[in-house]
Amino acid sequence: MKEVVTEFTEELAANGGSSAALCFQCGTCTLKCPSAGLRTALRPANIMRASQLGLKDEAIEDYGLWQCTTCYTCVEWCPRNVQVVDVITALRNMAVADGEMYENHKKVAESLIKNGHTVDNNDKIKALRKSLGLQENPDTVLDDEKAKADFDRILKATKFTELVNQ
């Protein structure tokens, strides 16, 4: 049985996802989404429906939530001007606050904390850089004193590290 959480729509709106309420389920977003179809489990129209009905678990635990590339195709096509990406971002933030983060997103976030950028530098890229006469590891935000101080301040203000490591 699907549980309706009455405060959920307000919580979602407070996180920037209020426009889910405007969705009239035409399905255009799912049809046009380059990440949906046979490629992934993402069905943005389903996520909008669960969101506007207050089905918190269904919306937040939707695996497809993490398959959105934030390309904004759905937003461009939506006849109701639903800000689908804002809704998905809000749901992801709420999922993370509840201790749920898709594994690959977690890896990206961990790399940002550890290396100062989101993509891990592997041996293949290091060798390629070396062959081009470049240093194996490019400079990142961590290599500049002021930039690192700003970076640390942002991590602290957003509780980013705690959220990723919880």
**Contacts with ligand SF4, residue ranges (CB under 6 A):** 23-29, 33, 35-36, 42, 44-45, 48, 68-74, 78-80, 82, 84-85
The distance of closest approach from Cβ of residue 42 to ligand SF4 in the complex, given in angstroms and rounded to an integer, is 6
When the beta carbons of 59 and 84 are compared against ligand SF4, the nearer one is 84
When the beta carbons of 73 and 151 are compared against ligand SF4, the nearer one is 73
The distance of closest approach from Cβ of residue 117 to ligand SF4 in the complex, given in angstroms and rounded to an integer, is 23
The distance of closest approach from Cβ of residue 53 to ligand SF4 in the complex, given in angstroms and rounded to an integer, is 13
Angle among Cα 150, 153, 156 to the nearest 5 degrees reads 155
Closest CA to 35 of 81, 1, 84, 80: 84
When the beta carbons of 31 and 134 are compared against ligand SF4, the nearer one is 31
> Virtual CA dihedral for 30, 7, 165, 144, nearest 10 degrees?
80
3-state secondary structure 83-107: CHHHHHHHHHHHHHHCCCCCHHHHH
Enclosing H/E stretch for 57 = helix 56-60
Closest CA to 137 of 150, 146, 128: 128
When the beta carbons of 61 and 141 are compared against ligand SF4, the nearer one is 61
The distance of closest approach from Cβ of residue 75 to ligand SF4 in the complex, given in angstroms and rounded to an integer, is 7
